[in-house]
Structure 1
Amino acid sequence: MTTEPASVLAEDEALELLTHGTMELEGRLVDASNTTLRAEISLDGRAARCVYKPVRGERPLWDFPDGTLAGREVSAFLVSQATGWGLVPPTILRDGPLGPGACQLWIDEPEDAEALIGFVPAYDVPPGWLPVASARDEDGDAYALAHADDPRLSNLAVLDAVINNADRKGGHVLYAPGGRVLGVDHGVSFHVENKLRTVLWGWTGRPLPPEPVEVLTRLEAELGGALGERLEEHLTVNEVQHARLRVRRLLRAGRFPKPPRDWPAVPWPPV
């Protein structure tokens, strides 16, 4: 049996493997705040690695009392899938060794992958990068939190605005083979109140490019139909309605959102 890299699997193949494959746990990711396990999943002689987040390992959150973090992970994938951008690795909800949980295709980042988000010297922001916030290190030297002015990231920023992602850290952006940029860890998304926290504020107030406008127009209709019905399997009706409302607001404004005034705009730690 051969363990397939994520880049080899088409989305439908990955979803088939995640849904019907046999899961064997390999170990726990100790840096995660909730129980997060890496596993191998196999089916008909093919295998791949996945991230398994059992519902029973979730820590309750006072501001996300409804549903599960696993359901929000799956919902983020469903919305990403509907955009056609492929910004979230294939993710499903299934039973596993520790009960029901989110199961997401594991992404191996190439060793030579170049990060597009990070802290850079304040006086030396790379050309084509957008500063987001100022900071100083323990020696008092000035740095800027910045990211590349890259359409892969700007599409991710639009997705985060739609799902109301409260935790877009730089470390939650993966660089997959083939130059793809992927977002992970969407357990604190889809709140009905504005809780958008992200390191991708570089386009604040700028006009949305034509492609995201086209995608959002299509997404607004789908949220009122089949996509909305699928999301209601994991979210409350109110949360789905507010996702559609956020899309309408983005289209009406025609611009990237501005940071909230009553909620920290950047997650901690940022990267």
Structure 2
Amino acid sequence: MQPSDPGVLELLTRGRIEIEGRLVDASNATLFCAIDGGGDSAQCVYKPVSGERALWDFPDGTLAGREVASYLVSRAAGLSVIPPTVLRNGPFGPGMVQLWVDTKEGGDLVDVLAPDDVPVGWRAVLQAHDRFGDPALLVHADHPSVRLMAALDVVLNNADRKGGHVLHGTDGNVYGVDHGICLHTEHKLRTVLWGWLGEPLPDDVVDMLKKLRAGVEDIADTLADHITTAEVRALRTRLDAFLKAGEFPAPGEDWRAIPWPAF
């Protein structure tokens, strides 16, 4: 089943979940599952609230809801860069269930490369050295969907956009995953997608932001099921400020700009 299929949310909400494995590199319990029902089947990720690791700056037990809220914001913006995501009961209690995205072989959109190996047109984010002391660059593709994702991250206040969270699907689309630490009221943007820093917003980004601003009131009550009233208000404030500024922001001085690890 593909993210664009009309029955995908129904399957994620009501399908029978069978756990097949665990993604061991994830900091919170992240389970790889099969899901089936009504003649449809797919693979999904299930993150039970009971498996969330406590964070000092985000309320306990809220990460699954923030993933769902981020998906709702993406959908209201007319984007499909976050796979379909729901909150429901599963084998280990309530949790986030998200459609699994198969990725292209060798289709990385974020990488660390020697300067001579960077593809033409890619955006450099950070200069560094590899383990041998040779120069290296953190880079990402200059891809319109990656740019839209970077803009959406500003609105979501994404504190953890790692390179491994940017997926190039086998369907040709670009997807972002892991939105559990988004939508805080305080500025926390941490991302590897700084390649457009200071550049004017292109028309597709402006159109996306305007569509979201027009539609955010329609989803405000649903968002309130997952985040606080203050966080919904902060979402509107960030959106208005971003549109008014008309350019991609620079990192703040009071918060680490890139997540660690970066992948």
Work out which of the residue numbers 192, 202, 207 in structure 1 matches 2:195.
202
1:3 equivalent in structure 2: none
Paired residues for 1:139-158 under 5 Å: 139-158=132-151
Question: Structure 1 CA distance, aligned partners of 2:111 and 2:228?
Answer: 35
Q: Distance in 1 between matches of 2:99 and 2:114?
A: 35
SS of alignment partner, residue 156 of structure 1: helix
In structure 1, the residue corresponding to 2:64 is in which secondary structure?
A: helix
1:178 aligns with 2:163: no
Q: Give 1:1-271 correspondences, 5 Å limit.
A: 6-7=1-2, 10-65=4-59, 68-111=62-105, 113-223=106-216, 225-271=217-263
2:46 corresponds to which letter in structure 1? Y
Over 3 Å counting, the alpha-carbon distance change for 1:241 and 1:67 in structure 2 is farther
Letter paired with 2:40: R
SS of residue paired to 2:73: helix
CA distance in 2, matches of 1:237, 1:66: 17
- What is the total number of aligned residue pairs between the two structures? 263
Preserved contact between residue 160 and residue 191 of structure 2 (Cα < 8 Å): yes
Distance 1:233 1:94 in 2: 13
Quick check: 1:66–1:236 contact (8 Å CA) kept in 2? no
| TM-score of the superposed pair, with normalisation by structure 2 | 0.96
CA distance in 1 between partners of 2:76 and 2:254 (Å): 30
Aligned-partner Cα distance in 2 for 1:176–1:124? 23
Deviation digits for residues 221-245 of structure 1 (CA, Å, limit 9, x no counterpart): 322x221111111000000110111
Give percent identity, aligned residues only. Answer: 53
Q: Deviation string for 1:6-48 (max 9, x for gaps)?
A: 43x5343110100111111111111111111111111122211
* Gap regions ≥5 residues in structure 1: 1-5
Q: Secondary structure at the match of 1:207?
A: coil
Question: Secondary structure of the residue that 1:177 maps to in structure 2?
Answer: coil
Segments of structure 2 that go 5 or more residues without pairing to the other structure are none
Summarize deviations over 1:172-206 as a string: whole Å, max 9, x none: 01111231010000001001111000000000010
Taking the aligned partners of 2:204 and 2:132, their CA distance within structure 1 comes to 44
SS at match of 2:180: coil
Query: Contact 1:67/1:235 (CA < 8 Å) preserved in 2?
Result: no
Q: Normalising by the residue count of structure 1, what TM-score does the alignment of the two structures yield? A: 0.93
| CA distance in structure 2 between the aligned counterparts of 1:147 and 1:121, rounded to whole angstroms | 13
The answer to whether the 8 A contact 1:20-1:43 is kept is yes
CA distance in 2, matches of 1:125, 1:85: 28
Contact 1:11 1:90 in 2 (8 A): no
TM-superposed deviation, 1:126: 2.2
User: Helix, strand or coil for the counterpart of 1:17?
Assistant: helix
